[in-house]
Amino acid sequence: MDLPSISGFIGSLLAISTPILLIASLELLVQRSGVINLGVEGAMLVGAFTAYVVTLYTSSPLLGLLSAIALGSLVSILFAIMAVYMRLDQIVVGVSISMVSIGLTSYLYRLIVGYGSPPKIQSTLIDALAPFLRSIPIAGDTLFQTPLTPISLALPIAFWLLLGRSLVGAIIKASGEDPSRACRLGVNVAMVRTILLALEGIASGAAGALLSIGYYGSFLENMTAGRGYLAVALVILSSWSPARLLPTVLIFSLIEVAQLRLQASGIIEIPYQLALSMPYIFTLAILAISSGGKKAPRSLGSSEYEC
C-alpha cells in the first residue's frame, strides 16, 4: 500500500474507533465505580438525534454537538436517579432506557421529518471543527477528522494515570470494589457514581453527534445499532484496564474496517444482516467469554450496599 492509502486506512479506522472509544473510556470508569450502564446505547442515540435536529434547524453543527452533550448527560443522569439513587437493577434500567430511546427518537423523528427521505444537514461537524485540527501538530487533518479523535485516544491514557496514581482514582476504585467499606472510609459513593455517569452521558452524546452530524450528515432510526452495548462489552473484554482498552477497541475497529472494505470490494458476499448484527454478536461472545472475570470490580452491577 502506498502512503495516502495507508493514511486513508488509518483515518477510517480512527473514525470508527472514536465514538466507541469515547464511550468505552468513560464506561470503564463508571464500571470501576461499580455501575454497569447499558443506557449508553440510548444516550448515544438521543445524542445523535438531538444533534441532527438542532443542526437542521440552526445550521450550526457546534450548537448541535452541545445540545447532544446536554441531552446525552440528561439521559445518563436519569439512569443515575433510577439505578444509583432508587437502586433499581442496573441492567434493566439501562436496557429500558435504551429501548425507550429507540422508540422516542423514531417517534419524534417521524413527527419532525415525516416519512420521506431525511434531509441532509448543510454543514457537518467535521467541517465545523476543521479549524481546530490545524493546531494539532502531527498529521492533524489527514488522520483526525475532528478533535474528538485525539481526545478519544488520550482518554484511556489519562484514565490509566488517574486510576493508577491519584486520590480520585482510589475513590473510584473503592466505590466499585466495596461500596460499603468505601462509605465507611468517608466516600459518598452515590455522588461518585453519579458524577461519572454524567460525564459518560457527555461522552455518549458527543459520540452520537459524531455519527449523525459528523459522518452521516443525517439521522436514521436506531442508527447506533448496538455500538453502545458493544462499548460496554469491550470494557469487560479489556478486564477493566484502560491500558488494554485502547488496543481492544482498535482491534475491533480494525475488524469493522476490514469487513466494510471487503464488502465494498465485492470479493466476498456478506449478507448485510450479518454485518449489521456484528456488534450484537461480538457483545454476546464477549459476555460468554469474559463474564464473571476475576478482575471485575467486586460490586459491579449491584446498587445495594449498606454503610
Size of the site for other proteins (CB under 8 A): 59
- Coil, strand or helix at 256: helix
Query: Whole-number minimum distance, CB 12 to other proteins, in Å?
Result: 24
C-beta of residue 218 within 8 angstroms of C-beta of residue 120: yes
Query: Whole-number minimum distance, CB 28 to other proteins, in Å?
Result: 16
Which 109-138 residues touch other proteins, going by CB under 8 A?
Answer: 110-111
DSSP string, 61-125: HHHHHHHHHHHHHHHHHHHHIIIIIS---HHHHHHHHHHHHHHHHHHHHHHHH-SSPPPPPSS-H
| Interface with other proteins (CB under 8 A), residue from 51, 54, 80, 187 | 187
Q: Can you tell me the distance from the alpha carbon of 89 to that of 275, in angstroms, rounded to the nearest whole number?
A: 31
Query: Whole-number minimum distance, CB 98 to other proteins, in Å?
Result: 8
Which contiguous run of DSSP H or E holds residue 134?
none
Nearer to other proteins, 60 or 277 (CB): 277
| Interface with other proteins (CB under 8 A), residue from 26, 80, 129, 173 | 173
| Interface with other proteins (CB under 8 A), residue from 10, 62, 91, 198 | 91
Cα angle value 20/118/17 (rounded, 5°): 10
- DSSP assignment letter at 180: H
| Interface with other proteins (CB under 8 A), residue from 134, 264, 271, 294 | 271
Assess 270 for contact with other proteins (CB under 8 A): no
C-beta of residue 22 within 8 angstroms of C-beta of residue 207: yes
C-beta of residue 87 within 8 angstroms of C-beta of residue 63: no
| Interface with other proteins (CB under 8 A), residue from 167, 264, 267, 268 | 167
Residues 6+ apart with CB under 8 A from 292: none
Q: Can you tell me the distance from the alpha carbon of 237 to that of 245, in angstroms, rounded to the nearest whole number?
A: 8
| Interface with other proteins (CB under 8 A), residue from 66, 70, 81, 95 | 95
Assess 106 for contact with other proteins (CB under 8 A): yes
Assess 227 for contact with other proteins (CB under 8 A): no
Query: Whole-number minimum distance, CB 59 to other proteins, in Å?
Result: 24
Which residues of the chain form contacts with other proteins (CB under 8 A)?
38, 82, 88-89, 91-93, 95-104, 106-108, 110-111, 167, 170-171, 173-174, 177-178, 180-188, 226, 229, 271, 273-274, 276-277, 280-281, 283-284, 287-289, 291-292, 297-298, 301, 306-307
